[in-house]
Amino acid sequence: MNNTGQKLYLKAKKVILGGNMLLSKRPEMTLPNLWPAYYSKSKKIFVWDLDNRKYIDMICFVGQNILGYANKSVDKFVFKNAAKGNMTSLNCPEEVILANKLIELHPWAKIAKFARSGGEANAMSIRIARASTKKEHIAICGYHGWHDWYLSVNLSGKNKLNNHHLPGLIPDGVPKNLKNTVHPFNYGDFEKLKKISKKYKLAAIKMEVGRNSLPNRDFLKKIRKFATKNKIVLIFDECTSGFRRNLGGLHMTQKIYPDMCMFGKALGNGYAITAVIGRKKIMSGAKNSFISSTFWSERIGFLAGIRTIDVMKKIKSWEKIIKNGKYLSEKIKELAKKYKLSINVGGIDSITYYSFNSKKNLKYKTFISQEMLKKGYLASNITFLTIFHTKNVIDEFIKNLDPIFLKISKFENNKINVNNFLKGPVCHATFKRLTD
C-alpha cells in the first residue's frame, strides 16, 4: 500500500526540526513508520490522506474542532470577511466584538488580550501576573506550554514535570538563572501548595481546572480562598477545557472565579486564536510591560472566534459532546469488562481517554492504532469529541474495536505475543521521547 504521507514525513525530518510543528501530532506518537502523517482535505470527522484514502477521525488532535472540520458556518463567515482584507495599518473591529463576547460570558472579567497560541497566552498571563504583583515566583499545576518560564521547572530536576504532561523532559536551552522560580504541585495536593507559598513569595498560582477528570470543587475553593488571602494572582488555564462543558470556561460550572483565564483550541474551531481575560486591576498592572505581536492583530482569528461562539451557543455544542463522550467512555469500559482487561478511563467526558494497566500498555496503544487504521479509522487511546461523533459513529467504532480488544486479552494472558503482530516500532510515550 502506497503511503505518500510517510515518504513526505521522511523528507520533512531532514528540513524541519522534529519533523513537524506540534509534538503530539508526530507520527511517532501514534504509529511510527505507518501513520499517514499528512491530510489533503477534511470535513466533519472525515480526513483524507495524500493518497486520497478516507478515514473517520476518532482522535481529532488536539481538541480544536468541536464543531467538526471545515464547519460551513464558521468557514463561510471567515472567508467572506477575510476577503475584504486581513491586515492593514488600522485595527480590525472584530477584536473588540470578540473581547465583549468573552467578557459577557465571564462577568468576573473586565479586560481581554489576544494571542494566536496557548503557549503565547500562558506566557502573557505570567508576565502580567509578575508585573501586577512585583513578585516573581509561580506555583503551577498542569500543562502550560513550551516557554522558558514553564520548562524552567525541570532545571531543578528533570522529573519535576512528570505529573504535568511532560515526563522526562530535559530543559536544554532554558536559562539557568530561571531555576527555582516556578514550583509544581499536583492537583488536589493543597498541602504542597502551602509549603511552596511558605518558602517563596508567589506572584501567581497557575492551574488547569480539569484535564484528566472533572473539577474538584472543594480543592478549587481552597485555592481561591488561599490566593485571595495571600494576594496571589489565581490563573486558570482553560486552553484545553474551555467550551467543552459549557459556553465558556469550565470554572463557571463550579462558580469559582480566577483573576485571569486563558482560552484557546476550541475558541476558533481550527483557526488560530487564543485569549487572556482578567480582572481590571490585575490586567492593568502590565501597562508598562511590553506585550505585543504583529499577528495578534490579524483578522481571521477574531472572525473565527466570533462565529464559533455564536454557533456553539445556537446548537449547545457542549451538551452534544458531553452526552456522546459519556457514552463512548461507558462502551470502552464494557469492552474491557467483556474481555477481562484492566483499564483506566478518564477525561472530562468530552475528552475521553483510556490506558491499560499493563507493562505492555504502549504496545497495545500502538496495536490499536495499527489495526483501526486498516479499518479506516484514525484512532488512539484518546478522543477529543466533536458534534459529529454521534452515537451511531461510536457504536460502529466500538464494533470495530471489539476484536482488537479480544486479541489484546490474548496478549495480556500470554496466549500470543504482541510483538509478533506489530508491523513497526512502538509509539512514543506522550512527551517522553523527543528524539528519533
Instruction: List pLDDT tens digits, range 296-345.
Output: 999 999 999 999 999 999 999 999 999 999 999 999 999 999 999 999 99
Pairing of strands 377-378, 343-347: unpaired
| Largest interatomic CA distance in the chain | 69
Instruction: List pLDDT tens digits, range 236-264.
Output: 999 999 999 999 999 999 999 999 999 99
Integer Rg of the chain from CA: 22
**Residue 299 and residue 121 in contact, taking contact as beta carbons nearer than 8 Å:** no
Q: Please, what are the domains in the chain? A: 4-70+317-420 (3.90.1150.10), 72-315 (3.40.640.10)
What span, in angstroms and rounded, lies between the C-alpha atoms of 148 and 158?
A: 14
Q: In what helix (H) or strand (E) does residue 202 lie, and over which residues does it extend? A: strand 202-208
Over 90: is that where the pLDDT of 166 sits? no
Pairing of strands 343-347, 351-356: antiparallel
Which grid cell is 338? 467483556
The confidence band for 49, taking pLDDT boundaries of 50, 70 and 90, is: very high
Instruction: List pLDDT tens digits, range 8-43.
Output: 999 999 999 999 999 889 999 999 999 999 999 999
Examine residue 182 and say whether the peptide bond preceding it is cis (omega within 30 degrees of 0).
no
Q: CA 406, 408, 410, 415 torsion: positive or negative?
A: positive
Over 90: is that where the pLDDT of 280 sits? yes
Neighbours of 116 (CB within 10 A): 19
What span, in angstroms and rounded, lies between the C-alpha atoms of 279 and 281?
A: 6
What span, in angstroms and rounded, lies between the C-alpha atoms of 338 and 406?
A: 9
Which of 131-135, 176-180, 250-254, 284-288 shows the lowest per-residue confidence on average (mean pLDDT)? Answer: 284-288
The reported pLDDT for the residue numbered 68 is 98
Strand partners, 56: 46, 377
The reported pLDDT for the residue numbered 212 is 79
Chain-wide mean pLDDT for the chain? 95
Q: CA 238, 243, 247, 252 torsion: positive or negative?
A: negative
The confidence band for 220, taking pLDDT boundaries of 50, 70 and 90, is: very high
**Residue 272 and residue 249 in contact, taking contact as beta carbons nearer than 8 Å:** no
Which of 153-167, 229-243, 293-307 shows the lowest per-residue confidence on average (mean pLDDT)? Answer: 153-167
What integer is the mean pLDDT of 346-357? 95
Closest CA to 348 of 248, 240, 262: 240
430 or 336, which is more confident?
A: 336
Over 60: is that where the pLDDT of 436 sits? no
Pairing of strands 137-141, 182-184: parallel
Give residues with Cβ within 8 angstroms of 9, minimum separation 6.
19, 20, 27, 37, 38
Over 80: is that where the pLDDT of 399 sits? yes
Closest CA to 38 of 25, 56, 24, 29: 25
Over 80: is that where the pLDDT of 392 sits? yes
Which grid cell is 180? 527555582
The reported pLDDT for the residue numbered 75 is 98
Strand partners, 204: 138, 233
What span, in angstroms and rounded, lies between the C-alpha atoms of 220 and 255?
A: 10
The reported pLDDT for the residue numbered 432 is 56
The confidence band for 158, taking pLDDT boundaries of 50, 70 and 90, is: low
The reported pLDDT for the residue numbered 76 is 98
**Residue 400 and residue 331 in contact, taking contact as beta carbons nearer than 8 Å:** no
Neighbours of 406 (CB within 10 A): 13
Instruction: List pLDDT tens digits, range 94-104.
Output: 999 999 999 99
For 287-417, where are the alpha helices, taking DSSP H only?
Answer: 300-315, 317-338, 361-374, 391-412
The reported pLDDT for the residue numbered 349 is 94
Over 80: is that where the pLDDT of 434 sits? no
The confidence band for 161, taking pLDDT boundaries of 50, 70 and 90, is: confident
Type of residue found at 37: A
The reported pLDDT for the residue numbered 235 is 98
The reported pLDDT for the residue numbered 162 is 77
Whose cell is 475584504? That residue is 84
What span, in angstroms and rounded, lies between the C-alpha atoms of 278 and 258?
A: 8
